[in-house]
Structure 1
Amino acid sequence: MASIYLIRHGQASFHSSNYDQLSELGQRQAGYAGEQLARELGPGRDPADVSWFCGTLSRQIDTEQRVRAGCFPDMPKQRLSEQAAPVTNAGFNEFDHEALLAHYLQRLRHKPEVEAFLNAVDDRTRLFQPAFNRVVDAWIADGDFVEDAAEAFETWAQFKQRIVNAFESAVTAGWEQARESGKKGSGDVCIVSSGGPISLMLQAMLNMDDVSALDANWVLANASITKLIYRSNPERPPQPNELRLAYFNHYHYLQTTAEGDAVSFR
């Protein structure tokens, strides 16, 4: 039985000029996730037994590096990089929330949640999520065609397909590694990504509808771990619907750190 660990990146810098970097809390969260992953993998595991993946966003790359370091704290950094170099794949990147806001906010300004956010002066943080939910709902409803969108705008259908393609390639890589090595315990996969992609990986596995899949996104904690399992078939890699969910959005280890509660959702 092999495992696939889906790890959301640590807290990003939401209120800074550069969102795509880990906050100080996010950096620590990633280390805690690595310590938890070490407990999951068990003693004596070789980092080369795990196939490591992440997106190309800075917050994802930094999280992956800190997870690996936290998982194998006694291994020199250079040796760890040589034995377990991650595959960076833009297919695991989050959707471009700034592009969505730029396209949909004014178009949805008549909606109460959006109007309240656009007119807010002092309470924009609290009002952002309801407005953003409206934006994402409109994006999903538009499917594979968005009227008057910028040339590089990614539709919901394109986003879904991108995630499925990246997910299937990672699962196949883990299966191939297990088949080639023949070593017990090989074949595990660790994917560091973001809330949207993780929710769509679950959708591919559990056959959820679009709205239910994105609902899962809103509750994923930063640096949480979702675990999938599969029974390896030597003849072919598993399909997404052949995977099984072991647990979802585990972050108890963030509630019991030496610094106290280190949980965040944004």
Structure 2
Amino acid sequence: MPEIFVVRHGQASFGSDNYDQLSELGWQQARWLGEHWAEDGQKFDHIVSGDLQRHRETARGICEGLGLAGQRVEELPQLNEFDFKNVMHAYSEKNPQAIPAAGAERADYYRFLKLAMQAWSAGDIVGAESWQQFEQRIEEVLGILAAGARGGRTLVVSSGGAIAMMVRQILGAPSHSVTQLNMQIKNTAVSHFFAGRSGVSLHSFNHVPHLDTRQRREFITYS
């Protein structure tokens, strides 16, 4: 049966001028995942990613760990994250009192993003794309991935919000579950799906076997 392994990108550069690039730890997380799969004898027939910088770099790091440096990676922009900065800006214009103060803790920004996502999904604010457009493109890319698997094993690199939307659609969960799932997904976490005649089904969610060890648990991140 066709299998799809969807990986959230490695740790990005939170707080820097270019969030979209991987941090040094993000690169290491990606290489560790590739090395883990190489040691386990895992192979992939197709490798696909979004076209954001953090997606490309994560795919490259995984391929380096797998011993596949220079491997061709197909890019699908439908796998890109929603524009969370735009969503947060739209929410802040309607709720300026909720904006985290300068120098606030990272957790404060996560709480603000959660509120913004809830307002976006409820239609209270409009981002760069509507919630319905986000749903539609994730539904579209799930169909593309399922059709392209063709009995093989596909590795996909995407982002937390997009992965959360995939899981919501597959499980038929309510819209608010996207926000809850998005906040849980670890950097370079793997979610495993099967694609069959009846559609795509979820086998496992948010696993980090390459990090969930006594020596590496301190390197588990969420941004």
Same fold (TM > 0.5): yes
Output aligned runs, 1:74-113, within 5 Å.
75=68, 77-78=69-70, 81=71, 85-110=72-97
Q: CA separation in 2, counterparts of 1:39 and 1:244?
A: 27
- Could you tell me whether the CA contact under 8 Å between 1:171 and 1:189 is conserved in 2? no
The residue aligned with 1:252 is 209
- Could you tell me whether the CA contact under 8 Å between 1:54 and 1:89 is conserved in 2? yes
Query: Any idea what the Cα deviations from partners look like across 1:43-94, whole Å, max 9, x if unmatched?
Result: 6x4x5xx1111001000011011112212x2x5x34xx2xxx2210110000
Counterpart code for 1:157: Q
The residue aligned with 2:117 is 136
- Please state how far the C-alpha of 1:245 moved relative to its aligned partner: 2.1
Give unpaired runs (5+ residues) of structure 2.
none
Is 1:211 aligned to 2:168, yes or no? no
Q: State percent identity of aligned pairs.
A: 29
- Could you tell me whether the CA contact under 8 Å between 2:146 and 2:200 is conserved in 1? no
- Please state how far the C-alpha of 1:128 moved relative to its aligned partner: 1.2
Q: CA separation in 1, counterparts of 2:217 and 2:113?
A: 30
Q: CA separation in 2, counterparts of 1:38 and 1:211?
A: 37
- Could you tell me whether the CA contact under 8 Å between 1:255 and 1:262 is conserved in 2? no
Instruction: Kindly name which structure, 1 or 2, has the bigger radius of gyration based on alpha carbons.
Output: 1
Is 1:35 aligned to 2:35, yes or no? yes
The residue aligned with 1:61 is 56
Counterpart code for 1:160: E
* SS of equivalent residue, structure 1 residue 192: strand
Is 1:199 aligned to 2:164, yes or no? yes
Aligned residues: 223
- Please state how far the C-alpha of 1:204 moved relative to its aligned partner: 2.0
Counterpart code for 1:55: G
Of 216, 219, 222, the match for 1:262: 219
- Please state how far the C-alpha of 1:259 moved relative to its aligned partner: 5.8
Q: CA separation in 2, counterparts of 1:257 and 1:192?
A: 26
- Please state how far the C-alpha of 1:243 moved relative to its aligned partner: 2.8
- Could you tell me whether the CA contact under 8 Å between 2:8 and 2:159 is conserved in 1? yes
* TM-score computed with the length of structure 2 as normaliser: 0.90
The residue aligned with 1:173 is 148
CA RMSD across the alignment: 2.2
Give unpaired runs (5+ residues) of structure 1.
179-186, 232-237
* SS of equivalent residue, structure 2 residue 4: strand
- Please state how far the C-alpha of 1:104 moved relative to its aligned partner: 1.4
Q: CA separation in 2, counterparts of 1:132 and 1:214?
A: 9
Query: Any idea what the Cα deviations from partners look like across 1:197-223, whole Å, max 9, x if unmatched?
Result: 111111221111111132111100000
* TM-score computed with the length of structure 1 as normaliser: 0.77
Q: CA separation in 1, counterparts of 2:39 and 2:174?
A: 33
